């Protein structure tokens, strides 16, 4: 039995969805059901998140191999949201014969600010790591609140996120720590530049975790990258701006 849990919806050309840190695929099942009207959608729970078993001390490459082994089709497009974007990049890099196209959704090939490269300050992620040790549940709540900060109906959106997160088991502490370390340490820019399949990035104008200025930096890494911007959305556009995201995503697949 695979250690990775997968939900499979619909029929047609396959699209794999990989969620972000501290979440699970239940966070975007409503969005996946809508996308499944035109595609076969495969939603994966990352190791130690939701219904997937932990893979402790596993490298990004090892985690990706387990994700690949759980995908029941040979050829697919992959959409990586937030942290999931790093695994999606590695997936396209390590299995180019299987990945038709790559979409980075509110994601960054290098999450930590590096010189001119826009990202999150390392001390912000260090702060999350310290708080995680002291109070994992409260840290996750703060992280969820950050993702709707500045959006209209933020309280309603936060409640929607909480309900979705509580629909499956919480991520274990070791997997959360491992995910934060991945966000802090991985720089996938050179790998992204050499991926053979078409690459797109969908960014959000009000994203507090992935700066919109990334749209100007990404072409320095890969000139042929297709970039789409959802100006009024935050870090979770599949919850707050699902219809416009679907239109953009279908253009990238």
- Give the C-alpha separation, 90 to 17, whole Å: 14
Structure tokens at 213: 């200025």
Catalytic residue among 39, 235, 241, 248: 235
Q: Which of 236, 232, 241, 246 is nearest to 158 (CA)?
A: 236
- Give the C-alpha separation, 152 to 194, whole Å: 39
Annotated catalytic residue 82 = yes
Buried residues in 100-133 as b, exposed as e (16+ CB within 10 A): ebbbbbbbbbbbbeeeebbbbeeebbeebbeebe
Which residues, 6 or more positions from 234, have their beta carbon under 8 angstroms from its beta carbon? 147, 148, 149, 150, 151, 204, 206, 207, 208, 240
- Give the C-alpha separation, 14 to 157, whole Å: 29
Q: Which of 32, 24, 18 is nearest to 48 (CA)?
A: 24
SS3 43: strand
Catalytic residue among 52, 77, 82, 200: 82
Catalytic residue among 7, 45, 66, 207: 207
Three-class secondary structure assignment of 51-70 = CCCCCCCCCHHHHHHHHHHC
Structure tokens at 234: 């935050």
Annotated catalytic residue 235 = yes
- Catalytically active residues, by annotation: 82, 207, 235
């Amino acid at each position: 039995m695979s250690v990775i849990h997968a939900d499979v919806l619909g029929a047609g050309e396959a699209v794999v969805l990989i969620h972000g840190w501290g979440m699970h695929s239940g966070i975007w099942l409503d969005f996946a059901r809508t996308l499944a009207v035109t595609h076969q959608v495969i939603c994966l729970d990352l190791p130690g998140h939701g219904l997937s078993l932990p893979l402790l001390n596993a490298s990004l490459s090892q985690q990706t191999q387990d994700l690949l082994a759980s995908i029941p089709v040979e050829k697919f497009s992959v959409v990586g949201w937030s942290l999931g974007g790093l695994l999606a990049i590695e997936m396209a890099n390590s299995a180019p014969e299987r990945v038709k196209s790559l979409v980075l959704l509110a994601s960054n090939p290098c999450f930590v600010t590096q010189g001119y490269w826009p990202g999150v300050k390392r001390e912000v992620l260090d702060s999350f790591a310290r708080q995680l040790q002291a109070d994992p549940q409260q840290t996750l709540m703060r992280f969820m609140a950050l993702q709707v900060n500045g959006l209209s109906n933020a309280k309603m959106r936060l409640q929607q996120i909480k309900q979705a997160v509580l629909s499956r088991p919480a991520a274990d502490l070791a997997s959360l720590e491992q995910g934060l370390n991945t966000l802090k340490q991985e720089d996938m820019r050179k790998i992204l530049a050499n991926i053979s399949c078409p690459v797109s990035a969908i960014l959000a104008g009000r994203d507090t975790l992935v700066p919109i200025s990334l749209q100007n930096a990404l072409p320095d890494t890969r000139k042929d990258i297709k970039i789409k911007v959802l100006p009024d959305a935050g870090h979770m556009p599949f919850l707050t701006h699902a219809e416009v995201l679907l239109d953009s995503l279908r253009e990238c697949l």
